Chain A
Amino acid sequence: MMNCQQATKLISESQERALSLPEKMSLKLHAMMCSGCKNFSLQVPFLSKAMKAYARGQDEEVKD
């Protein structure tokens, strides 16, 4: 079975490229059993979102 280091690597790479079907499947299987990696898979897209929100000027959104 895939370990957490490999799983987080794939989760990270999914931001740069489309994962293959076997990659997606084994990732899914792993995340079903691993809350840490499941959480990581939700956090990575959030990091991207936060960085972009930051770039677009968080000050403005925050100040209302």
Chain B
Amino acid sequence: MSALTNEGMKSDASEASILSDTAFLNDLRRQMVKFATLQLSNSHAAEDAVQEALIGALKNAKSFAGRAALKTWVFAILRNKIADFLRQKKRMVEASSLLREDEEGEDFSELFDKKGFWQSDEKPASWGNPQDSLHQNQFWKVFEICLEGLPGNQARVFMMKEFVELEANEICTAVGITTTNLNVMLHRSRLRLRECLENNWFLKGEHA
């Protein structure tokens, strides 16, 4: 831990140290492949996109003050590559797999009663001032765990919308689903994600 911090502080040495830090690069690459594969559901295309993004970013490694900056940059490039790929390729996914999961998940009864009102223990609580959490390391760990807890296709469309920042109609075309379908999946993913954050962060008080 202390070795890492020291390295990070010497900005002139950081360029060399990032590039020779195979553990960091392997971990970064693994995260990128995971993300790209989820988004593209095509492992070849995902590997290609990651490769290009990494090469592009490492060429400019000099201009990065540290690992966090490099990671941000690499993911920004990857996001653009994924967006391009999804916009070009139409309906590259088997729509059927998405639809099936969606039908299975039609049940809202855990959250809402028969009349469609919140079950008493599921009612969203007040999060106070959630912006403060954005500056806390521990929050991002919980956030990542909650994202990973979403069913694959929900995570995929949610991230297409909020991370890759595609428009709703672009997502529908890329994934081969209807707007109604997309809305249902986003509705679900938001309900789930907020519930997870509430239970594991906002009601826990660790952040106070």
Contact = CB atoms under 8 A, between A and B. Distances in A.
Task: Check if A and B associate.
Answer: yes
Interface of A: 3-6, 8-9, 12-13, 15-17, 34-37, 39-40, 42-44, 46-63
Interface string B118-142: 1000111111001101111100100
Contact of A16 (B126, B133, B183): B183
Interface of B: 67-69, 71-72, 75-76, 79, 108, 111-112, 115-118, 122-127, 130-131, 133-137, 140, 143, 158-159, 161-163, 165, 168, 182-183, 186-187, 190-191, 193-194, 197
Contact of B136 (A44, A46, A48, A62): A62
Given A35-B123, A50-B134, A52-B162, 16 more contacts: A3-B117, A4-B117, A5-B111, A8-B191, A9-B187, A13-B183, A36-B118, A39-B124, A46-B127, A46-B130, A47-B190, A51-B163, A54-B140, A56-B72, A62-B136, A63-B68
Contacts of B126: 35, 39
A63 B67 CA distance: 12
A55 B35 CA distance: 12
B134 A61 contact: yes
B186 A16 contact: yes
Contacts of A56: 72, 76
A47 B193 contact: yes
